[in-house]
């Protein structure tokens, strides 16, 4: 088992960005974007929670907050996803708002500004998408949110593993192969 580190949060953020990109695709391909997007986010979020739980079992996060706060966050995400996926006035973006808000709160618990920033970008993109009915704009906003979240995941990956050193050029005559 790996050590506890805030950089272990990079896989859930990459999964969240994949969820946003899939939401953009569903938004652009469906004829009734409200029902399709909300159902996609409800199912995709539950799948993301399962993948995140498996990842955190093998690679635990820093867990700098109290255990109850993490448990309350998971329960709030589950209840929020189930409730907001059925609310029609949000154009199917209620779950997207819940994910962004949960990301902000989780970033505060982990004391990771990059996670808070990714959640804030997600919420800022979800707010106009909840009121804009054009699928092109909804898809574009979801793609921007996905770019912000995957950038945060990349920064956390760099925090944990560092940068790869570039390979050096070797002059073949110095190898003395013959």
Average pLDDT over residues 37-46: 84
* Residue 167 domain flag: no
* Residue 23 domain flag: yes
* Residue 165 domain flag: no
The two tokens of residue 8 are 């272990």
The number of domains in the chain is 1
* Residue 139 domain flag: yes
Query: Any residues with CB less than 8 A from the CB of 35 and at least 6 apart, and which?
Result: 92
Q: Nearest Cα to 9, choosing from 101, 116, 97, 164?
A: 116
Decide: 20 and 143 in contact? Cβ < 8 Å.
yes
Q: Residue 73: which domain range?
A: 6-160
* Residue 74 domain flag: yes
Average pLDDT over residues 41-50: 86
CA-CA distance, 135 to 141, in Å (whole number)?
A: 10
* Residue 131 domain flag: yes
Does residue 77 carry a pLDDT above 90? no
Does residue 144 carry a pLDDT above 90? yes
Does residue 3 carry a pLDDT above 90? no
């Amino acid at each position: 088992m790996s050590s506890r580190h805030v950089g272990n949060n990079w896989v859930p953020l990459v999964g969240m960005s994949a969820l946003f990109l899939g939401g953009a695709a569903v938004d652009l391909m469906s004829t009734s974007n409200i029902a399709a997007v909300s159902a996609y986010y409800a199912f995709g979020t539950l799948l993301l929670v399962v993948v995140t739980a498996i990842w955190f079992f093998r690679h635990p996060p820093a867990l700098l907050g109290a255990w109850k706060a993490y448990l309350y966050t998971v329960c709030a995400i589950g209840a929020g996803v189930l409730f907001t996926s059925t609310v029609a006035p949000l154009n199917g973006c209620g779950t997207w708002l819940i994910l962004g808000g949960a990301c902000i709160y989780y970033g505060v618990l982990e004391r990771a500004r990059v996670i808070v920033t990714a959640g804030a970008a997600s919420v800022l993109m979800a707010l106009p998408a909840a009121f804009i009915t054009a699928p092109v704009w909804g898809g574009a906003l979801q793609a921007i949110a996905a770019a912000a979240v995957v950038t945060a995941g990349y920064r956390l990956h760099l925090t944990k593993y560092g940068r790869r050193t570039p390979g050096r050029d070797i002059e073949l005559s110095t190898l003395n192969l013959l």
